[in-house]
Chain A
Amino acid sequence: MTKEEKYSLAKWAMDHALEKGAQQVSVSIANSQSSSVEVRDEKIDKLEQAIQSGLSIRLFVDRKYSAHSTNRMKKKDLARFIEEAIEGTKFLSEDEFRTLPEPALYYKGGEKPLDTIDLDFSKVNPQTKIDLAFAIEKEVLEKDERIISVSASYYDDLNERVMVTSNGFEGHSSSSQFGLNASVSVKSDDARPESYWGESAIFFDKLKKEDIGKIALKRAIDKIGQDKIASGKMAMVVENRQVGRIFGPLISALMGSAIQQKNSFLIDKLGEKIVSDKLTITDDPFIIGGRGSRLFDGEGLATKKRTVFEQGVLKTYYIDTYYGKKLEMDPTSGGTTNLVFETGNKDVEALIASVEKGILVAGFNGGNCNGTTGDFSYGIEGFLIENGKITQAISEMNITGNMKNLWSNIGEIGNDVNQSSSWLTPSILFQDVDFSGI
């Protein structure tokens, strides 16, 4: 579907809903295409290709609310789908807080594009995709006699979306992604450690296409001899790509729904210092070519650059229109865009070198965080650090604590930002973390 076709169908669906009894409507139509190839044993293991499209509609009917989606896009099917949805909505309870956003807060158009899509997406030759995957596999094959299994894959996807609302919003967005992955298993005494590495990018030309297999192999071999060590309180360095796992619960606690439903450990904390003054984070939607860049959010609200934490002081919550009304707060947009950390001056190696005794966390294994209290416990694997050097691979251990304490005990923020995510996390050193092992 072209952009114009999507707009036309979305407006038709909106008009149909208004005609059949909805007072307010928001419709979005998205389509995507993707392909992937996975290779193993110098053969193609899996070849996948997909094109999909779908319509989502949010209905506000007699002060009642519902939301629906379908991939049956013929007008005849959609008409009936919308009519049934409206009838069903009438059986719900009224909810005075449900409305579309204030039109004044909508994105109005005009800003420069944020370069979130590769306009040459379709020009990548299918054979090139296969060759790239084989090249990654080749970096590993026969490089070490302990290798049991290698697989490498290429994937890409392109997403395009338009949205219209009955109180005046119209907008479209698009994004693309290209990626390469390798996964390697090696033999040790009684286990088969496995590791994985991947790179991804919005633009094919910017995708890092080398060393992915090499890194996966090194990470797998480094794990040989993994064992647990004695329990204790120690320093913890978390690799940049792994920080998201322990940072996520801080963001979840800032969501309007969590605040209003008392499922947050950061209720009524705006303006207070809640974590280490080493933590300063900006939410910046306008980074050109940023993985989380966008001009408007899922409701159509114009995005704004804002500070989330400033030297440990909480500066904002993530409030959408509905929970804004419930909480009597102004909506700020209900989700993160690009999170930019104020960085220090050490990379992960330098952080490790600064630790007398501690653990480098290279991966998490399960675990969870209680959103109400911030209490967490996660399985980890990584490496023992002694006198600034890695001395042993460790696994089968847990870290346990509370999010507020953990983030108050930052030793140092690194400078090695993970560019492959919208959360631009550097490696971070934490002090006094409870590890459980033997």
Chain B
Amino acid sequence: MNVNRRNFIKTSGMFAAGSVILPPFVQSCQNVQITDNVKSYLNHFEVSTEMLQKVIATAMSKGGDYADLFFEHKTTNSLGLEDGKVNRAYSNIDFGVGIRVLKGDQTGFAYSETISLNDMQNAAKMAANIANTKATFNPGAVNEKTPSDFYKIVNKWDDVSVKDKVPFVQKINDKVFALDEKVIKVNAFLNDETSYVLFFNSEGRLTYDYRPMISFGVVCIMQKGDQVENAYSARSFRKGFEWLDDNLIDELSKEAIDKTNILFEATKPKAGEMPVVMGAGGSGILLHEAIGHTFEADFNRKGTSIFSNKMGKKVAGDFINIIDDGTLENNRGSINIDDEGNDVQRTYLVKDGILNSYLHDKISANYYKVAPTGNGRRESFRNIPIPRMRATYMENGTDSKEDIISNVDYGVYVDNFSNGQVQIGAGDFTFFVKSGYLIEKGKLTQPIKDINIIGNGPQALSDISMAANDFLIDNGTWTCGKDGQSVPVTCGLPTVLVKKLTVGGTNA
């Protein structure tokens, strides 16, 4: 082992993504002007711009219109606490390159887990098969693109030892137990992820990204008499080790305790349609499910979304502005470049109540003849990029939360969710409410729990009749699944009133 032992233990992450690089690769015949930044990524993956151009030429050799290479090296480390001790750790290293060829809106794709010219050429040949003519491709100039910088951090997870992370996980356990005598079990986790991405395409664009992610959470299990309930709290950001501190532990602990305590008194509402007040923050799941997915341009291009052909049409009240944003500082859903090498934007889906833009990947942007919106994302180098959300939220309205609640005679107030889903064509969307309150005669009364709420996207959007000025992004561990691919996202909302949704519950 050629690593200094002492230094090695200090940096044992488990795995330092950066340090797994083999001895620096000496670049041969580097005939283009590129910065040291991008050079370090080329070195990391042991490739040269010449190699990239050769692989692209192979990918284009059957007459493809476009090709790209997506190199990724991702390391994930996880610490887990159960029965009072940080007694388990997990880690994963994933490394490889995805090669994609487009012919019109057709896609050929293959990947390789080993990065040698030969293996990449083989994968490129497979992907090239989406086209079926013979062509010679002459690579143009390499055009380096400096990515944005939406997640500045101080201490990279690469450099943080298990030893330094363990105390935070232990502390959150001890804090939760100290806060309430009813606590019988605590589970806690700390997951850090570091991803290095290098991108090159047949247009010559060469770019890169360093993507850190941290998720920290706690599950609290309480018992009162015979009744056992549990709830959890978690946060996730593209931040470094400096983010962990005692205030965060206090905040998460208290939240887990409060969310669990409310469940002991909670019941179910009566089943049926009623007004739903969506509390600020996590209620952004409403936008994600009811609107976000149906605005993804692949569904609209194929005509399968209920919002197909609604561009430029009025879909909501004048006061409604809905945004999908990849640029929020340190946000879990932010990316410096999307996974097709495009710049990332703050995209208005709905502006002043009018459908303003779909969420595009390269294929759909070409189809609609619009500029890419930076929504082409993929789970890893093993997957084809498709239009995905980032941070999806609604801007403030002018009402107050109190006004909105006092407007409801009988309904529910919800602000704590576990999951949601949507049917793109029917427009039916759902979200599962972990806890909330009944609203009776304009006041929050009885706590409620474990109910599904279902509605129809276009209807729900036009039924948002009030919005407060208390906009909040929820920084929980939101993960969105589509076509078998998971990507990190977030969502946010000010308190809003939806005039009518169908609430799960009991029938008299």
Q: How large is the interface on A (under 10, 10 to 19, 20 to 34, 35 or more residues)?
A: 35 or more
Q: Shortest CB–CB separation between residue B435 and chain A, in angstroms?
A: 11
Whether B14 contacts A84 by the Cβ 8 Å rule is yes
Q: Does A431 contact B (CB under 8 A)?
A: no
Q: Are A372 and B428 in contact (CB under 8 A)?
A: no
- Contacting B454 at CB < 8 Å: which of A92, A185, A365? A365
Q: Beyond A192-B306, A379-B428, is A232–B507 a contact (Cβ under 8 Å)? A: yes
| Residue A68, interface by CB 8 Å | yes
Q: Is A438 an interface residue (CB 8 A)?
A: yes
A107-115, A311-319, A393-401 - interface stretch:
A393-401
Q: Decide: B430 and A367 in contact? CB cutoff 8 A.
A: yes
The A-contacting residues of B in range 372-410, CB under 8 angstroms, are: 382, 384
- A81 interface residue, CB < 8 Å from B? yes
| Contact present for B162 and A91 (CB under 8 Å) | yes
Scan residues 54-83 of chain A and give those whose CB is less than 8 A from a CB of chain B.
Answer: 64-73, 76-77, 79-81, 83
* A93-B87 contact, Cβ under 8 Å, with A45-B105, A194-B423: yes
Q: Mark B412-452, 1 if CB is under 8 A from A, else 0.
A: 00000011111111111111100000000000000001111
Question: Chain B contacts of A365 at CB under 8 A?
Answer: 421-423, 428-430, 454
Interface residues in B1-51 (C-beta closer than 8 Å to A) = 1, 3, 8-9, 12-16, 20, 22
Query: Among the listed stretches A162-170, A223-231, A354-362, which one makes contact with chain B, having 4 or more residues with CB under 8 Å of it?
Result: A223-231
Closest Cβ of chain A to B452, distance in Å, is 4
Contact A262 B223 (CB under 8 A): yes
| Cβ-defined contact, A191 with B426, below 8 A | yes
Q: A48: which B residues are within 8 A, CB to CB?
A: 108-110, 384
User: A409 to nearest B CB, angstroms?
Assistant: 14
Chain B residue nearest in CB terms to A185: B304
Interface size on B, as a range, is 35 or more
Partner-binding segment picked from B92-100, B191-199, B207-215, B470-478: B92-100
Q: A438 — nearest CB in chain B belongs to which residue?
A: B273
| Among B289, B308, B421, contact of A192 (Cβ-Cβ < 8 Å) | B308
With both beta carbons as reference points, the residue of chain B lying nearest to A376 in the complex is identified as B450
Q: Is A191 within 8 A of B306, CB to CB? A: yes
Contact B88 A66 (CB under 8 A): yes
Chain B CB within 10 Å, residue with most, of A71, A98, A436: A436
| Residue numbers in B under 8 Å from A89 (CB-CB) | 89
Known: A366-B432, A375-B450. Is A91-B88 also a contact (CB below 8 A)? no
- How far in angstroms is the closest Cβ of chain B from A120? 21
Known A40-B302, A69-B93, A95-B88: A193·B425 in contact at CB below 8 Å: yes
A-B contact count (CB 8 A): 274
Taking a contact as CB atoms under 8 Å apart, the answer to whether A397 and B86 are in contact is: no
Specify which chain B residues have a CB less than 8 angstroms from the CB of A45 in the assembled complex.
Answer: 105-107
Q: Quick one: given A65-B87, A85-B14, are A47 and B109 in contact (CB under 8 Å)?
A: yes
Closest beta carbon of chain B to A80's beta carbon, Å: 7
Contacts of A261 on B, CB cut-off 8 Å? 82, 185, 187, 221
**Given that A84-B15, A192-B303, A263-B230 are known contacts, is A231 also in contact with B272, CB under 8 Å in the complex?**
yes
Cβ–Cβ < 8 Å partners of B308 in chain A = 192
* Interface flag for A149 (CB, 8 Å): yes
A305: chain B residues at CB < 8 Å are none
Interface assignment of A12: CB less than 8 Å from any CB of chain B: no
Q: Distance in Å from the Cβ of B112 to the closest Cβ of chain A?
A: 8
List the B side residues contacting A398 at CB < 8 Å.
271, 430, 451-454, 502-504
Chain A residues near B185 (CB-CB < 8 A): 261-262
Could you tell me which residues of chain A, from 191 to 215, have a CB within 8 Å of some CB in chain B?
191-194
Chain B residues 98-144 with CB under 8 Å of chain A are 105-111, 113, 126-127, 129-130
Task: Check if B465 is an interface residue, CB within 8 A of chain A.
Answer: no
By beta carbon, the residue of chain A nearest B383 is A48
A123 contacts partner chain B, Cβ-Cβ < 8 Å: no
- Contact of A368 with B162 in the complex, beta carbons under 8 Å: no
By the criterion CB–CB under 8 Å, are B14 and A379 in contact?
Answer: no
Q: Judging by beta carbons under 8 Å apart, are B109 and A46 in contact?
A: yes
Interface presence of B54 (CB below 8 A): no
Q: Contacts A46-B106, A400-B451 known; A93 to B85 CB distance under 8 Å? A: yes
Determine how close the nearest CB of chain A comes to the CB of B23; give it in whole angstroms.
11
B456 within 8 A of A: yes
Residues on B with beta carbons closer than 8 Å to the beta carbon of A378: 452, 504
Residues of B within 8 A of A (CB): 1, 3, 8-9, 12-16, 20, 22, 79, 82-83, 85-96, 105-111, 113, 126-127, 129-130, 161-163, 166, 184-185, 187, 221, 223, 228-230, 268, 271-273, 289, 302-306, 308, 382, 384, 418-432, 449-456, 458, 502-507
A-B contact pairs, 15 of them (CB 8 A): A46-B106, A49-B110, A72-B20, A79-B1, A81-B15, A151-B302, A192-B425, A192-B426, A261-B221, A326-B83, A366-B430, A368-B432, A377-B452, A398-B271, A436-B272
Given contacts A185-B425, A400-B504, 17 further A-B contacts (CB under 8 A): A49-B110, A52-B382, A68-B91, A70-B92, A71-B113, A84-B12, A84-B16, A93-B87, A98-B87, A192-B304, A192-B424, A261-B185, A367-B452, A377-B451, A400-B505, A434-B506, A436-B271
Measuring CB to CB, which residues of chain A are less than 8 angstroms from any residue of chain B? 40, 43-53, 64-73, 76-77, 79-81, 83-85, 87-89, 91-95, 98, 148-149, 151, 185, 190-194, 223, 226, 228, 231-233, 261-263, 326, 365-368, 370, 372-373, 375-379, 381, 395-400, 434-438
For the complex of A and B, list the 9 residue pairs with the smallest distance between their C-beta atoms, beginning with the closest. A366-B430, A436-B271, A366-B421, A93-B85, A398-B504, A192-B425, A377-B504, A377-B452, A194-B425
